[in-house]
Every structure is written in structure tokens, then in C-alpha cells.
């Protein structure tokens, strides 16, 4: 029964860093299994789930360019890193009994499907989890922008961005003891106050299509479950 659900189709944004856990490189198996478990439980409720996964635990174009790699090449490497994470997530979710399809914005046909919007929507309607890899497929973008774009394309109810902090703060809570958490912000406030929580381009995309964004703590147990059932966890960004 999906009537009690606040959100029936969600776009979950997981950063690559979220998979790091206690490792300093790559993927912590314990973390990916725990995340998969939380996602599975929400999926079992009947929520349709698209996931955009980042690659920062492996490569970021910006970081690579500092070590002398051409930016566009570095971004290609970053996008491929997201594909690796997507495969790991697919595997972990499948082990827990879910049907999962990785869809990449860059064609890698021996490994996963291409991102095709109609097919993505069909997967969701059939009860498959869709993992969107390779961001939007172009350099100089991030997977935050991909999350906004895919959410809009698949007509999701909301973008749920999992982070290491439990919402958007007025300043960095680690550095500033006066920092406080916002429960609600408008898109323009996030942009004007330069709250470093998501790229501006990702926020602007959501603003222009009126797509709500909720920022929440990835380490909070049951967070996803509570959010789809209507809890006001973290910070919500709307018009």
C-alpha cells in the first residue's frame, strides 16, 4: 500500500565519498551493504527509486587536473569512476534481492545499459531500481547536476541528497560554533548565501523546474525510510 507514502518516486544522490566509510580509497563493503539495506527497505514499500552515484572516492577531474592531467580527460576518468561505483552498488542491491539496472550516460555496452529516458522510466514502473552512472556524460559537470537533471527527466517527487552532515548549516559546523542548521531554505537563499551544499547549477536546475531537494545525513539510521513517510529530517529546499 503506497497511499501513506509522501514520495512515490525519488531520486537519491549518493556521493562517492559516502561509500568510503573508514577506507581512504575505494569502497567500504560494510557501508555499501548498509546503504543497500536502507534502500531495499524503502523499495519494498513500493517507492520507485532512481540513484545518481558520484565518483569522488576514486577520481575527480578537478583533483586530477592538479596533478597535471588535462581537465577533460580527468572528467572522463571521474565519470568512469562513477560507473565503477554504480556496478558495486548494483551488486550490493542485487544481493539483497532487488532488481537493478545501471544506466550510463557514456556508452559502455558490455558493462551496463545506456541511459535512455523512456527506458529508465519503464524500469522504475516495473519495480527495478535504476542507478544512473557517468553523471550527465559531459565534462565540467558534477553528479549533483546529474541528480537534478535525472530527477526532472524521470519526474521524481524529490531529490534526496545524502551527505555527511545532517542538513544545511549557516556556516561550517566543524569550524564555527555559532553555526546553526536550517530546516527550510528557498533555492535563491541557497544560491545567495553561497551555502556550499550543492553546485549552483544543480540548484538552479531544480529551481527552474520546481523540484524539491532534501539534504540529509547518510549515517542516520532509517533516514530514507522516515523521509519517504513524511518526516522533516535534514533541510528541505523549495521555492
Contact 125, 118 (CB under 8 A): no
Q: Are strands 48-53 and 129-133 parallel, antiparallel or unpaired?
A: parallel
Instruction: Return the bridge partners of 53, or none.
Output: 14
Using CB under 6 A as the binding rule, the residues of this chain from 9 to 38 that contact ligand UDP are 15-17
Interface pattern 126-155 for ligand UDP (x via CB under 6 A): ---------xx-xx-xxxx-x---------
Angle made by CA atoms 147, 150, 151, in degrees to the nearest 5 = 80
Interface pattern 89-128 for ligand UDP (x via CB under 6 A): ----------------------------------------
Question: Closest distance between ligand UDP and the C-beta of residue 199, in Å?
Answer: 8
Contact 50, 132 (CB under 8 A): yes
136 is in an annotated binding site: yes
Distance separating alpha carbons of residues 229 and 28, to the nearest angstrom: 28
Distance separating alpha carbons of residues 49 and 152, to the nearest angstrom: 13
Question: Closest distance between ligand UDP and the C-beta of residue 130, in Å?
Answer: 16
Question: Closest distance between ligand UDP and the C-beta of residue 149, in Å?
Answer: 9
67 is in an annotated binding site: no
Binding site for ligand UDP (CB under 6 A): 15-17, 54-56, 60-62, 74-75, 78-79, 81-82, 135-136, 138-139, 141-144, 146
Amino acid at each position: 500500500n503506497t497511499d501513506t507514502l509522501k514520495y512515490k518516486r525519488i531520486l537519491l544522490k549518493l556521493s562517492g565519498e559516502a561509500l568510503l566509510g573508514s577506507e581512504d580509497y575505494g569502497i567500504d563493503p560494510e557501508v555499501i551493504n548498509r546503504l543497500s539495506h536502507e534502500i531495499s527497505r524503502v523499495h519494498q514499500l513500493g517507492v520507485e527509486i532512481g540513484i545518481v552515484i558520484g565518483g569522488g572516492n576514486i577520481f575527480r577531474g578537478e583533483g586530477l587536473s592538479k596533478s597535471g592531467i588535462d581537465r577533460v580527460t580527468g572528467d572522463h576518468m571521474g565519470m568512469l569512476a562513477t560507473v565503477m561505483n554504480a556496478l558495486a552498488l548494483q551488486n550490493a542491491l542485487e544481493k539483497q534481492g532487488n532488481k537493478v539496472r545501471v544506466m550510463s550516460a557514456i556508452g559502455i555496452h558490455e558493462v551496463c545499459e545506456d541511459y535512455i529516458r523512456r527506458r529508465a522510466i519503464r524500469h522504475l514502473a516495473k519495480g527495478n531500481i535504476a542507478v544512473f552512472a557517468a553523471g550527465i556524460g559531459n565534462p565540467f559537470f558534477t553528479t549533483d547536476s546529474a541528480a537534478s537533471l535525472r530527477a526532472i527527466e524521470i519526474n521524481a517527487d524529490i531529490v534526496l541528497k545524502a551527505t555527511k552532515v545532517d542538513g544545511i548549516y549557516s556556516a561550517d559546523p566543524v569550524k564555527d560554533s555559532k553555526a546553526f542548521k536550517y530546516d527550510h531554505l528557498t533555492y535563491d537563499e541557497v544560491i545567495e548565501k553561497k551555502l556550499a551544499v550543492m553546485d549552483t547549477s544543480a540548484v538552479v536546475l531544480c529551481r527552474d523546474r520546481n523540484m524539491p531537494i532534501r539534504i540529509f545525513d547518510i549515517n542516520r539510521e532509517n533516514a530514507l525510510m522516515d523521509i519517504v513517510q513524511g518526516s522533516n529530517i535534514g533541510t528541505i529546499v523549495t521555492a
